Amino acid sequence: MVSRRRLLQAALLTALLPASLVQAVARAQSRNTFQVPPLYTGRKEGKDRYFDLQVQSGSAEIIPGYQTPTLGINQPFLGVTLRANRGERLYFTVENRLPKETTLHWHGMKLPARADGGPHQPIAPGAVWNSEFTIQQPAATLWYHSHQLHQTGVQVYHGLAGLFLIDDEESQRLNLPSTYGIDDFPVIIQDRDFNRDGTLQYLTTMRDRMMGKRGGTILVNGVVSPLLKVEKPLIRLRLLNGANARIYRLEFDDHRPFKVIGSDGGLLEQSRDARSVILAPGERAEILVDLSAGGVPILRHRPHNQRSPQREMSMMQRMMGEQDQFDIFQIDATGVESKPVALPTYLVKSSVDRSLPVQAERTMNLQMMMNPARFLMRDQFAINGKSMKMSRIDEVVNAGAVEIWKINNHTMMPHPFHIHNVQFQIIKRDGQREPHEFGFKDTVLVHPKESVILRIQFPKHRDPHTPYMYHCHILEHEDQGMMGQFVVV
Ligand SMILES: [Cu+2]
């Protein structure tokens, strides 16, 4: 049955876009091939590795026949995939070739505050920023993106985001699919809207500002709903929700089970069987998909079940477009050899030292302030009653300390809460835990009216003068004040 809503949506889309563009999107969906972002491993000298990055503008033919102005890192649209090993010292030069200020933040990395690439490390047009740190954390799928104050949403939307893969010996011993672009695939999922001329459409409505920008066209690694032809019977997908605001609930159209092996911070202790996984903006999950039986499964986004029975909640979710359904991409496994594959159960040993005492407990109340003046000031979102201020340090943390943070969502919409410089554990949440939430995380989805309790061990980089951020990873909320600052001393 075609719902009235679907018809309404189709009518809306057709009303917004010229017929030619609608047809072009439809054509793209059926014929695009899966693009793997180029790998960039820098220049290695012993235990040192050097990366030269250029933040640049460009254009891309995302919709056939249209050139879309974009931003990218070392390429016209999106960033190249960075890759390095645990224990190496990395040296970055980041050159800003844009006519405006930007930053590059290493999302998920434990590192000194001045190397973090947050709002306190802006790169002026034409300038070069140097960042250096040693990788002191396990193999993981991290990412990097613009974190320019009040401009993160628009800059990421146009393409300033890429993957950052860490390898280590422990993960390499596991015999997981790990050949990039052959049986190990990056999957950056984003949704976008386009204007009639093919340019990206950003923040045209009040709803976009309040709920965050959700687009009607799904891109995977910058390509509209592509087809991935695979040769191997077992593949690993490194899923990143790189959207500005949309929460994806991912599953295959044939409901096939898969194994969740990794989370934001790296591999889980044990793989977990799942048929769906919910990823909020900023979150990653690594999954293994058994394709030994062939087939052409489609990874799709299906609306999540309402967590609250309250009527206004589901109304809010409808308003936010949470009930839209999309195909993300399709896998063609008709050519794989039909040999059984080995699926691992035990992966890595946990590095948690449970004997360490808790030094501090903090509460973060996520709030929305209903005040027209705040709307104009771009600070209608707040944490503990305060909107982001560059000159104010909100929290002071001791280096190496174990802390408990309780995140309370006082609003009617979900917020993915991200903390820089750490990989934490979720020790309690009101709702049900997702399979990847048993691993180390740097971003956690907090549902409306929900509380989530985190255990965090802070790394030992001290710098009383340079703060790290914690914030909502719905980029429009971050840009409008749902962000705070902490220093480690
Ligand atoms: Cu938010």
* pLDDT for position 324: 75
* pLDDT for position 39: 98
Q: Give the separation between CA 270 and CA 75, rounded to whole angstroms.
A: 37
Q: What is the amino acid identity at position 310?
A: Q
Cα of 474 from ligand 1 centre, angstroms: 5
Cα of 193 from ligand 1 centre, angstroms: 20
Q: Give the separation between CA 321 and CA 341, rounded to whole angstroms.
A: 38
Cα of 148 from ligand 1 centre, angstroms: 17
Cα of 386 from ligand 1 centre, angstroms: 14
The b-or-e profile of 226-239 (16+ CB within 10 A means b, else e) is bbbebebbbbbbbb
Length of the chain: 489
Question: Are the beta carbons of 160 and 102 closer than 8 angstroms?
Answer: yes
Taking the mean position of all CA atoms in its chain, how far away is CA 66? 27
Answer yes or no: is pLDDT of 14 > 50. no
**Burial level of 16, CB count in 10 A (0-12/13-18/19+)?**
middle
Answer yes or no: is pLDDT of 317 > 70. no
Q: In which band, very low, low, confident or very high, does the pLDDT at 319 lie, cut at 50, 70 and 90?
A: low
> Strands, E, within 221-283: which ranges?
223-224, 227-229, 234-241, 248-252, 258-263, 266-274, 276-279
* pLDDT for position 5: 43
Cα of 260 from ligand 1 centre, angstroms: 26
Answer yes or no: is pLDDT of 4 > 50. no
Cα of 209 from ligand 1 centre, angstroms: 11
Question: What are the tokens at 138?
Answer: 């396990």
Q: In which band, very low, low, confident or very high, does the pLDDT at 376 lie, cut at 50, 70 and 90?
A: low
Cα of 72 from ligand 1 centre, angstroms: 25
pLDDT tens-digit series, residues 245-304: 999 999 999 999 999 999 999 999 999 999 999 999 999 999 999 999 999 999 999 976
Instruction: List the Cα angle 122/422/101 in 5-degree steps.
Output: 10
pLDDT tens-digit series, residues 332-362: 999 998 888 888 889 998 878 788 999 999 9
* pLDDT for position 144: 98
pLDDT tens-digit series, residues 127-136: 999 999 999 9
Cα of 177 from ligand 1 centre, angstroms: 35
Cα of 199 from ligand 1 centre, angstroms: 26
Asked which of 221-230, 277-286, 379-388, 451-460 is least confident by mean pLDDT, the reply is 379-388
Cα of 313 from ligand 1 centre, angstroms: 16
Cα of 413 from ligand 1 centre, angstroms: 7
* pLDDT for position 10: 42
Question: Are the beta carbons of 134 and 87 closer than 8 angstroms?
Answer: yes
Cα of 79 from ligand 1 centre, angstroms: 24
Cα of 416 from ligand 1 centre, angstroms: 6
Cα of 381 from ligand 1 centre, angstroms: 8
Average pLDDT over residues 73-82: 98
Domain architecture of the chain: domains with CATH: 39-171 (2.60.40.420), 177-332 (2.60.40.420), 358-488 (2.60.40.420)
Residue 416 CB partners (closer than 8 Å, separation 6+): 247, 280, 281, 282, 283, 443, 444, 445, 446, 472, 473, 474
pTM attached to this predicted model: 0.92
Percent of the chain with pLDDT strictly greater than 90: 80
pLDDT tens-digit series, residues 203-221: 888 888 889 999 999 999 9
What are the phi and psi torsion angles at 381 (to 5°)? Answer: -105, 145
Question: What are the tokens at 453?
Answer: 């309790």
Q: Give the separation between CA 44 and CA 377, rounded to whole angstroms.
A: 46
Cα of 482 from ligand 1 centre, angstroms: 7
Cα of 13 from ligand 1 centre, angstroms: 26
pLDDT tens-digit series, residues 150-169: 999 999 999 999 999 999 99
pLDDT tens-digit series, residues 88-142: 999 999 999 999 999 999 999 999 999 999 999 999 999 999 999 999 999 999 9
Cα of 435 from ligand 1 centre, angstroms: 22
Q: What is the amino acid identity at position 92?
A: F
